[in-house]
Amino acid sequence: MFLRHEKAPHGLWTEITVALRAHWRCVGGVIVCRDITELKEEEFFVPTKSGPRMIAADAPLRMF
């Protein structure tokens, strides 16, 4: 999930995981968030023989 905050005006990518019980049921209301901005920035560009290529340029915007 991409989030913007007054202390992070350029935004941050976060990974969110819910607590699961047996049989993959979501339990409770606690989530674990982790800042993966650096990882996402590395994924954004892929080196090629002709130089870096943006892999997300033609990707559809997904909303979950």
Chain centroid offset of residue 38 CA: 10
Structural domain count, the chain: 1
* Residue at 60 is within a domain: no
Q: Which domain holds residue 21?
A: 2-54
Q: Quick one: CA dihedral 62, 27, 15, 12, positive or negative?
A: positive
Residues 8-61: tens digit of each pLDDT: 888 888 887 776 666 766 666 666 777 888 777 776 665 666 655 555 554 555
Other beta carbons within 10 Å of 5: 9
Q: Which two tokens stand for residue 39?
A: 């990882």
Residue 37 lies in a domain: yes
Among 44, 35, 38, smallest CA distance to 5 is for 35
Which pTM value belongs to this model? 0.38
Name which of 56, 5, 15, 20 is nearest 37 in CA terms. Answer: 15
